């Protein structure tokens, strides 16, 4: 297994940037020089077309960062091409934000970590908070000179496969299910309005249900470090735990992975991106229903 890269060169030494910081750096974001690149990641890119942060490019999570039939992440070369064509280099500082409280932006953050990008951060509050606080927006889509981007890795220590989950059932590993309680107990297969291909509902045996939204304040920004420590510590998910997080398709769990790994400094957190769509379709996989 490859070791995780040394993540010391973050933007302003943080994995999370404030709206104030980004607003102060919008001129650099919009520059042709690829020092800082800003990416909006959405499931519905109509939001980007309506209004976005000046200088931001847009990535369509379902079309460009996820494969509906293969159910896998982009290859290293495919990601390099995708980013390079948009003026991003492997030395660029990348700031990510998006809709749904940064679900899909957090998934790209995790993916960039998987492929060894050093300098990357999430925008605290995402798209919603930026708009609600009345900060600058535009409808103009920028065009940057294509660059060369070379991904490294993959660094498997941040990713869990179904075999890792199977092994975890008999090892001291904390499984965190970040879905809604009705998904966790098997009442529903997906959040309202979402489609799902899993044949069975429920959760992985031993998993603790800590809904992703427990990480977020009412204004869309992350809760304080102290509050987040209390949430997970009270449920027995400590910093010395070996943790695997999962949801339905891997995006909500990326947000919780970000909180545990990047904000709270847990050293052994993996995202099971196969998620319930995979586990709920496996023949003979153990599933628990009706518990909360």
Percent of the chain's residues with pLDDT above 70: 94
CATH topology of domain 159-279: Oxidized Rhodanese; domain 1 (3.40.250)
Q: Cis check for the bond before 99: say yes or no (omega within 30 of 0).
A: no
Just give the CATH number of 16-156.
3.40.250.10
Indicate if 247 belongs to the active site: yes
pLDDT at residue number 137: 98
pLDDT at residue number 195: 76
Q: Report the pLDDT averaged over residues 2-18.
A: 60
Please name every residue paired with 58 in a beta bridge, in sequence order, or none if there are none.
Answer: 40
| pLDDT tens digits for range 115-131 | 999 899 999 999 999 99
Mean residue pLDDT of the chain comes to 92
pLDDT at residue number 4: 39
174 band by pLDDT with thresholds 50, 70 and 90: very high
Per-residue tokens: 241: 């735990």
Helix (H, G, I), strand (E, B) or coil at 225: helix
Using CA of residue 141, residue 144, residue 148, residue 150, what is the dihedral sign?
negative
Q: Report the pLDDT averaged over residues 168-179.
A: 95
71 band by pLDDT with thresholds 50, 70 and 90: confident
Q: Do 16-156 and 159-279 show the same overall fold? A: yes
pLDDT at residue number 12: 55
> Domain coordinates of the chain in residue numbers?
16-156, 159-279
Total-model pTM: 0.94
H or E element at residue 41: strand 36-42
| pLDDT tens digits for range 141-150 | 999 999 999 9
pLDDT at residue number 272: 98
Given 73, 247, 255, 263, the catalytic residue: 247
Give the residue with greater pLDDT, 253 vs 171.
Answer: 253
193 band by pLDDT with thresholds 50, 70 and 90: confident
6 band by pLDDT with thresholds 50, 70 and 90: very low
72 band by pLDDT with thresholds 50, 70 and 90: confident
| pLDDT tens digits for range 230-261 | 999 999 999 999 999 999 999 999 999 999 99
Helix axes 251-258, 103-114, angle to 10 degrees: 70
Q: Measured between alpha carbons, how far is residue 247 from residues 29, 145, 257, 273 in Å?
A: 33, 37, 11, 8
pLDDT at residue number 66: 77
Q: Report the pLDDT averaged over residues 218-232.
A: 97
CB–CB of 246/272 below 8 Å?
Answer: yes
């Amino acid at each position: 297994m490859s070791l995780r890269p040394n993540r010391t060169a973050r933007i302003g030494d943080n994995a999370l940037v404030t709206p104030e910081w980004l607003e102060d750096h919008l001129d650099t974001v919009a520059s042709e020089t690829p020092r800082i690149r800003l990416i909006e990641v959405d499931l519905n890119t109509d939001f980007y077309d309506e209004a976005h942060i000046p200088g931001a490019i847009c990535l369509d999570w379902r079309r460009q960062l996820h494969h509906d039939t293969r159910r896998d992440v982009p290859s290293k070369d495919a990601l390099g091409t995708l980013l390079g064509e948009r003026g991003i280099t492997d030395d660029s500082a990348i700031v990510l934000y998006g809709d749904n409280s940064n679900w899909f932006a957090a998934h790209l953050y995790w993916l960039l970590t998987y492929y060894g990008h050093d300098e990357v951060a999430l925008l605290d509050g995402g798209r919603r908070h930026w708009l609600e606080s009345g900060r600058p927006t535009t409808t103009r889509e920028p065009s940057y000179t294509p660059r060369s981007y070379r991904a490294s890795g993959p660094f498997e220590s941040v990713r869990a496969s179904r075999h890792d989950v199977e092994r975890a059932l008999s090892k001291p590993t904390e499984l965190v299910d970040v879905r809604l309680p009705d998904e966790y107990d098997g009442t529903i297969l997906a959040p309202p309005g979402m489609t799902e291909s899993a044949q069975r509902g429920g959760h992985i045996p031993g998993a603790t249900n800590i809904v992703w939204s427990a990480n977020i304040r009412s204004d869309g920004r992350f809760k304080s470090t102290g509050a987040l420590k209390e949430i997970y510590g009270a449920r027995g998910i400590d910093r010395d735990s070996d943790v695997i997080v999962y949801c339905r398709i891997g995006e909500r769990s990326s947000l919780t992975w970000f909180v545990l790994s990047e904000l709270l400094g847990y050293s052994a957190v993996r995202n099971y991106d196969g998620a319930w769509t995979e586990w709920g379709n496996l023949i003979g996989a153990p599933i628990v229903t009706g518990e909360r």
